[in-house]
Amino acid sequence: MERLFTFLLSEQHAVSHFTVTALAFLCGTLAIQCLAATRFKTNIQIVLFGIAITTGNLVSFFDTLWSSYPYLLWHIPLVTTAIAAIVVFIAACISAYFYLCPRRTIKTVILAGCVLAFGLSFSAFTILVSIVKPFVLAYDLSAVLSIMVLGSTLCGFAFWELGSLAAIRPRLFASILLALTLTVLPLGSMGSVLPFGEWMTVIQTPDSASFSPIGVIALSEFIAIIFLVGIASLLDIRVAVAQQKEGDRIRHLADGTFEGLLICRGSEIIDANQRIQEMTGLDLTTLKHRAMPDLFVSPPSERTLSGREAGSSDIFAPEQLELVGPGMRRIPVEVLSRDMPYVDGQSAAVLAVRDITERKAAEEHIRYLALHDSLTSLPNRRGLEMVLAQIVENSRQTGSESAVLGLDLDGFKAVNDTLGHYAGDLLLKEVAARFQKQLRDSDYLARLGGDEFVIILRNISSKDDAVKLAKRLISCLWQPFKLSGHDAYVGVSIGIAVSPRDGDTAQMLLKSSDIAMYQAKLHGKGQVCEFAAGMDADLRERHDLELDLRRALSRGELKIHYQPLFDSSGKLTAFEALARWPHPERGMIPPDRFIPLAEETGLIVPLGEWVLRTACKVASTWRSDISIAVNLSPTQFQRVDLVETVSAVLKETGLEPWRLELEVTESLLMEDTAKALALVTSLRERGVRVALDDFGTGYSSLAYLHNFPFDKVKVDRTFINKITNDPNAWTIVESIIVMSHKLKLRVTAEGIETGAQLSLLKGHGCDEMQGFLLGRPMPETEASLLAGEKQTGRKMHEILRT
């Protein structure tokens, strides 16, 4: 030992120490980099490590030899040196193999260190032995032993450090430790040998234990291994216990999470928490025997399998997969993976498996809500457009035809307004159910909102299929709907468009069916209309007219004409107020055109109120025995404030209530008989008179005449037209006169155009006469003049005379 210290401290040059250390550090660092370079295959790593160590060993040995015994350099035997280099290379490769083996423990790491130390010492002693041949080498046993233990320890710790968990430090420390090994072993080996001067003197009496250098090395190595492996085993046990505790701690932690956790190396499952066992229905032992990808319906991607590196800032979305659950049930899961050091110190992929069944169900529900109408559960506009787009595409490819039916309920608003929204909702559901019953499985029904529905008929043989269905749909609504104890009636107007003729996109087809539906509405309610080219132009025209009507109303461009009514004695009894629209560009627009438009657009409310107010105001300036008749539209009639409006107008204009006669039509009474009766009664109670207009058209229900407190009946002009040449028409008119009189109702005949009609009616007791023969609708000034005349009955007598 003393010899060793003397050698290390006094015999070596400082320059040599430095050079050896620097070269050893360089080679050590290279060797460590080779072990750490995981991008290389293991075999390549081992070979590169072997080369770096062999080079480092030879360089540091020869440098030491050169600085201690420069004259010996020329006696180095090349063959022995080559053998020594091969031994070092093999020892380095074995130690690298130990280090890189998957199940690395402290023991394997120390063993790797011992093997390398053995190789390095063997090389040094072998070369020294061959240099001094034929003499036997003299050495210091205790020094050799110390060097071996020190070398093995340094080497072992170099490997241990490299395998430790820290990020930067291990490579640096491992490089330093390996460099020390490469420095200490050649130096120490040389220092353990007696100096050649001394050695020549003791050659005759060598150390008793010095049989041969190889034996010495082997013995030293054996003792070093026993000693170090013993310590390593103890450490291994302690580490294993610590790992077990850490493992248990992590398992408790992992079992407490809601996510399933799988710890894998490649496809091998090395651990799993309780949750994943519940999710798969497999216990840990079974799981460990399964390949990880087999747990999923389709295997995870390479990215998930390899896992994101711990500490990496790369963010990638979790992968959505299906886990095979108990009973082969497919469980939708989200899998995130991360590459992390496991408790055994080696890296493993940790897969977090989150059950997303509820989230998927919620997403599905949200999607359902987005595509369906919440009231009827039918597909909504978005859902319809998606399906229709597919159908159009399919039609394009196969050349088949599909029909789109646009449906709009007639009279729904009245139900909603009178019975309330709850009843309206019930009605819509019931309507949807009735429609559905008329459809085949392949047909598609959607609700666009409000009272609008759409039906798609796929692959029709001809458009007659759609027309037939439309008729069935209309008739399926004939039966009343029982809503909150009331009978409610609604109808439906249907427009039909056929793909690809009426549109080659979903939007165009919907638009075409919509246009056709509007046309159906214009033709009267409960109609079917097929789309035809040019219809949209009609609709545009109608739209322009609506805008003009709004403008005319706001600018006060509308006028009222007054048509006189006479009693049977020829006395002027009343005027009927009839709205007129002198359009600045289109000329006079007849009420038959703009009144229905005003009805549909709701403009009838301000228009009707304006007519009522103006007519009452004008009439209030006339003689008190002349009344004014004003038409009431269904929409006006449905307004809750009608009675109040009428009262307010009468008060405002000062017209006596009995001089106002409101004309209502039969259709208006049918929509809600009870409410109509209440309204008519209420108006009559306020002294206003009510007449049933256009009698003879429509249902001509005698029940209305009997049940409603009307003041008079106006027989429609289409009947009056025929009374002189159609005996049946006359029989009906005559019956109406007789019956009305029996019910104490006055009868007015409208549309009298000939003297024959007039004398026939007059002769059979008709109470009041109106018609072009007696007076056309006239402007206010003319009407006021006529109302001011004393002898207005003169005209009728003159007519009858001629």
In angstroms, the CA 121 to CA 119 distance is: 6
**Smallest gap, in angstroms, from Cβ of residue 780 to ligand C2E?**
14
The residue range among 141-149, 228-236, 361-369, 770-778 that interacts with ligand C2E, by the rule CB under 6 A, is 770-778
Six-digit token pair at 688? Answer: 């206003």
Q: Does 694 bind ligand C2E (CB under 6 A)?
A: yes
Number of residues that bind ligand C2E (CB under 6 A): 23
Q: Give whichever of 606 and 788 is closer to ligand C2E, judged by the CB atom.
A: 606
Q: Does 570 bind ligand C2E (CB under 6 A)?
A: no
Q: Does 779 bind ligand C2E (CB under 6 A)?
A: no
Helix H or strand E segment including 18: helix 14-36
In angstroms, the CA 245 to CA 271 distance is: 15
Q: Where are the alpha helices (DSSP H) in 264-400?
A: 274-280, 284-288, 302-306, 357-371, 381-398
Residues in region 698-727 near ligand C2E by CB under 6 A: 717
Q: Does 582 bind ligand C2E (CB under 6 A)?
A: no
Residues with Cβ within 8 Å of 152's Cβ and at least 6 positions away in sequence, in order, are: 110, 113, 114, 116, 117, 118, 221, 224, 225, 228
Q: Does 332 sit behind a cis peptide bond, omega within 30 degrees of 0 on the bond before it? A: no
Which of 197, 592, 725, 801 binds ligand C2E (CB under 6 A)? It is 592
Burial of 554: CB neighbours in 10 Å, binned 0-12, 13-18, 19+ = exposed
**Smallest gap, in angstroms, from Cβ of residue 408 to ligand C2E?**
23
Which of 108, 633, 740, 748 binds ligand C2E (CB under 6 A)? It is 633
Q: Give whichever of 344 and 599 is closer to ligand C2E, judged by the CB atom.
A: 599
Reading phi first (left if > 0) and then psi (alpha if -120 to 50, else beta), residue 349 is in: beta
Q: Which residue matches tokens 């228009």?
A: 607
The residue range among 154-162, 263-271, 420-428, 744-752 that interacts with ligand C2E, by the rule CB under 6 A, is 744-752
The residue range among 103-111, 527-535, 677-685, 766-774 that interacts with ligand C2E, by the rule CB under 6 A, is 766-774
The residue range among 236-244, 270-278, 681-689, 745-753 that interacts with ligand C2E, by the rule CB under 6 A, is 745-753
Residues in region 369-428 near ligand C2E by CB under 6 A: none
**Smallest gap, in angstroms, from Cβ of residue 701 to ligand C2E?**
18
Chain-centre distance for alpha carbon 801:
83
Which of 772, 779, 797, 800 binds ligand C2E (CB under 6 A)? It is 772
Q: Which residue matches tokens 């390398």?
A: 116
Which of 280, 499, 631, 638 binds ligand C2E (CB under 6 A)? It is 631
Q: Give whichever of 148 and 611 is closer to ligand C2E, judged by the CB atom.
A: 611
In angstroms, the CA 91 to CA 94 distance is: 5
**Smallest gap, in angstroms, from Cβ of residue 762 to ligand C2E?**
15
Of the candidates 30, 6, 252, 24, which has an alpha carbon nearest to the alpha carbon of residue 140? Answer: 6
Strand 481-483, strand 660-665: pairing: unpaired
In angstroms, the CA 213 to CA 225 distance is: 18
Of the candidates 618, 699, 684, 672, which has an alpha carbon nearest to the alpha carbon of residue 647? Answer: 684
- Contact between 111 and 225 under an 8 Å Cβ cutoff? The reply is yes
The residue range among 245-253, 313-321, 357-365, 769-777 that interacts with ligand C2E, by the rule CB under 6 A, is 769-777
Q: Give whichever of 417 and 753 is closer to ligand C2E, judged by the CB atom.
A: 753
Q: Give whichever of 5 and 772 is closer to ligand C2E, judged by the CB atom.
A: 772
Q: In degrees to the nearest 10, what's the CA dihedral of 513, 519, 523, 524?
A: 60
Q: Does 493 bind ligand C2E (CB under 6 A)?
A: no
Residues in region 506-565 near ligand C2E by CB under 6 A: 563
Six-digit token pair at 316? Answer: 């990638």
Which amino acid is residue 403, in one-letter code? A
SS3 408: strand
**Smallest gap, in angstroms, from Cβ of residue 700 to ligand C2E?**
15
Q: Does 591 bind ligand C2E (CB under 6 A)?
A: yes
Q: Does 605 bind ligand C2E (CB under 6 A)?
A: no
Q: Does 693 bind ligand C2E (CB under 6 A)?
A: yes
Q: Does 595 bind ligand C2E (CB under 6 A)?
A: yes
Q: Give whichever of 166 and 756 is closer to ligand C2E, judged by the CB atom.
A: 756
Q: Give whichever of 325 and 771 is closer to ligand C2E, judged by the CB atom.
A: 771
Q: What residues make contact with ligand C2E under the rule CB under 6 A?
A: 563, 578-579, 590-592, 595, 608, 611, 631, 633, 663, 693-694, 717, 750-753, 770-772, 777
